[in-house]
Amino acid sequence: MYKRVLLKISGEALAAGRGFGIDAVFIHKVAEEIADAHALGCQIGIVVGGGNFFRGVAQQAIDMDRVAADHMGMLSTVINAIALQDAIEKRGIMCRVMSAIEMHQVAEPYIRRRAMRHLEKGRIVIFAAGTGNPFFSTDTAASLRAMEIKADILLKATSVDGIYSADPKKDPDATRFEQVTYNDIMRLGLGVMDTTAVSLCKDNNMPMMVFSMREQGNIVRVISGEKLGSLVTA
């Protein structure tokens, strides 16, 4: 079993098929699974995305400056983080939101040593506002925080059960990889995460498991060390 993990949950996943916003039933299911994994004794850091509210790249559609749009994107991750914190705390587990953009009334500022202390005390930490910088993604934030907190592994929970040679929703011949390297991802142009996040993990030897969180229980199974989905290594 992993001792400390960084779990990345995309914003889109929290919309659970609705396309926008937060699905109340689904977020409680996710919180339940996180609580179960926490009960096993695993220290859990979480990075949530914000794509269910706003993505910076959508700025062209509304004629916005990219930096302003990315600020909106990062703020949308804070909304998700607060919702997830609330759902986790309803299960009697202490959970802190640490934001990369300071907003004292809402969340703690991200201070790495304090984050480590929370984890050691068994508190779940949700890292909000991505890296705090425009032009980055929450996948990059997840890679960065995984390294900073010295996680054993980065767990990327998605709607697909691993990494495929092509988009399995469009190509019936797409095959799933059991294990790949970060070099394979770059060489084959596999759309797992952006290249900044990939190179950060590769250069710092951070393994990653890409798995589906659609099936109930998968988060616990992965944290227990079960090999679900696709494993990515340096």
Annotated binding site for UMP: 50, 70, 131-138
d(CA 226, CA 228): 6
Taking CB atoms, the residue at the shortest distance from ligand UDP is 49
3-state secondary structure of 3: coil
Which of 2, 22, 45, 51: binder of ligand UDP (CB under 6 A)?
A: 51
- DSSP category for residue 57: G
Residues 212-231 that bind ligand UDP (CB under 6 A): none
C-alpha 205/C-alpha 143 separation (Å) is 11
Position among 2, 6, 7, 12 found at the interface with ligand UDP (CB under 6 A): 12
Q: Residues 129-158: x/- map of binding to ligand UDP (CB under 6 A)?
A: -xx-xx-xxxxxx-----------------
Residues in binding site: 8-11, 50-51, 55, 70, 131-138, 158, 164, 167
Are the C-beta atoms of residues 222 and 155 closer than 8 Å to each other?
Answer: yes
Separation of alpha carbons 80 and 11, rounded Å: 7
The residue among 67 and 234 lying less far from ligand UDP, judged by its C-beta, is 67
Comparing CB distances to ligand UDP, the nearer of 43 and 140 is: 140
d(CA 215, CA 32): 13
Using the minimum distance from each CB to ligand UDP, give the nearer residue, 132 or 179: 132
- What is the nearest approach in angstroms of ligand UDP to the Cβ of residue 169? 17
Beta strands in 49-196 (DSSP E): 95-99, 108-109, 124-128, 153-158, 163-164, 176-177, 179-181
Q: Which residues bind ligand UDP (CB under 6 A)?
A: 10-12, 49-51, 55-57, 69-70, 73-74, 77, 130-131, 133-134, 136-141
